[in-house]
Structure 1
Amino acid sequence: MIVETPHGPAEVVIDHPDGEPRGLLVLGHGAGGGIEAPDLLAAVAAAPGFVAARVLQPYRVAGRKAPPRAPQLDEAWACVLTELTARFPGVPQVHGGRSSGARVACRGAVVADPRPVGVLALAFPLLAPARKDGTRPDRSPEIDAVDAAGIPALAVSGDRDRFGVPPVAAHREVVTVRGDHSLRAQGPVRDAVAPWIAQVAPPCG
């Protein structure tokens, strides 16, 4: 599916379940990566019965690797959510992504209509890369806003992630698996996501 945004078209790859969907899982990619990242595919596998929509941001569709500023990412994400909500109305939504995509999902979740029933943050980069002065900006306010809004979240990170691991919070579960920021081990990621997603969007009946 192609979604027009103010910043160019976004591409959405949609996997449909057999029968009526029990939910909609929307996933964004990392800054320089794509929608075939191992942890994104593991998340799709962990959500049987869901429509799974993997979103390629306009800058990646255009062939660029460097992402634009956050407001552009967020606006394109919101356009995609609007289209998906119209196409799959009335089903619970789980928003998420890996790294930069997890940040976008967290920022968008607190203003989305409808609000997601959960946010999946894969390899959420708690600390930014070091600046020239050695400081590393803290990105925890983005994921903490999800918790403050009372939205359940699951953060899955590698135990050697150089960007840090979010802490447990009132509405946030945290799972660390063996690995680094790339989260290439699909089995452990799938095993972490599956019970959580079944909890926030239980199967019908």
Structure 2
Amino acid sequence: MRERVELIQTTMGPGRVTVCGDGDSLLAIGHGAGGQSWSKDILASRDAALERGWVVALVDQPWRVAGRKVADRPPVLDDAWVPIVESLRTTNGARRLVVAGRSAGARVACRTSSRLGADAVLCLAFPLHLPGRPAASRIDELRLPIDAGLPVRVVQGERDPFGGPDEVRAGITDPSVVVAVPGTHSISATARVREVVSTWLASLPGE
């Protein structure tokens, strides 16, 4: 697989993008709040999009590029993500843009979807709440793109301590947005993730 890696400057420092594929549709995927590697569900989503002829960009936030172990706060993450994705869209001449992320990255994708003029949002393991703290819900962030009328897909582990599929469904108007897959917050059912993402991308307008 041919990839290109480049740094994109932001006011928070450089972000890093790993881009592969060809086409006029772009899937930009952000990572979670921990670790320096790409999770299996992100890579499965990337592969599903590549098979459908999409350009895929894996976006490393500036805090990760700098080698820090702790993620920046949400407003900082958003302000770094937006110019990176805008640059990617311009560089690739993308006709369509799907913003995506895993865990904290899914929150970023939801919060910034309108600012970016995204066409759809993909959430992997959306962190509805901290384990054991269901009252501190982040459902309002997930509702942002849904209420804006964007197609949204949430791929959620059946035993996710950050909020299971039924918990997420209970907070939104359309429960079909959420697809349950085997696993916890770390989704390792890659074949199933790949199938779900491929089917959803194929259902988007313009396919």
Q: Tell me if TM exceeds 0.5.
A: yes
The answer to whether the 8 Å contact 2:98/2:119 transfers is: yes
Which AA in structure 2 matches 1:85? R
Q: 1:169 maps to which residue?
A: 173
What is the alpha-carbon root mean square deviation over aligned residues? 1.8
CA–CA separation in structure 2 for the residues paired with 1:129 and 1:66 = 19
Q: TM-score, normalised by structure 2?
A: 0.88
Q: 1:43 maps to which residue?
A: 45
Q: Are 2:45 and 1:9 aligned? A: no
Q: 1:102 maps to which residue?
A: 106
CA 91–171 in structure 1, closer or farther in 2 if over 3 Å, else same: farther
Q: How does 1:116-195 map to 2 (within 5 A)?
A: 116-129=118-131, 136-164=135-163, 165=165, 166-167=168-169, 169-170=173-174, 173-195=177-199
Q: How many residues align?
A: 195
Which AA in structure 2 matches 1:16? G
- Cα deviation, residue 22, structure 1: 3.9
Which AA in structure 2 matches 1:144? R
Which AA in structure 2 matches 1:156? V
Aligned pair partner of 1:23 in 11, 22, 25:
25
Q: Are 2:96 and 1:81 aligned? A: no
Q: TM-score, normalised by structure 1?
A: 0.89
The answer to whether the 8 Å contact 2:24/2:94 transfers is: no
- Find the residue that maps to 2:42 and give its secondary structure: helix
Gaps (5+ residues) in structure 1? none
- Find the residue that maps to 1:74 and give its secondary structure: helix
CA 53–156 in structure 1, closer or farther in 2 if over 3 Å, else same: same
- Cα deviation, residue 169, structure 1: 3.3
- Cα deviation, residue 170, structure 1: 3.6
CA 35–91 in structure 1, closer or farther in 2 if over 3 Å, else same: farther
Q: What is the identity percentage for the equivalent residue pairs of Structure 1 and Structure 2?
A: 40
Q: Are 2:62 and 1:58 aligned? A: yes
The answer to whether the 8 Å contact 1:30/1:97 transfers is: yes
- Cα deviation, residue 136, structure 1: 4.8
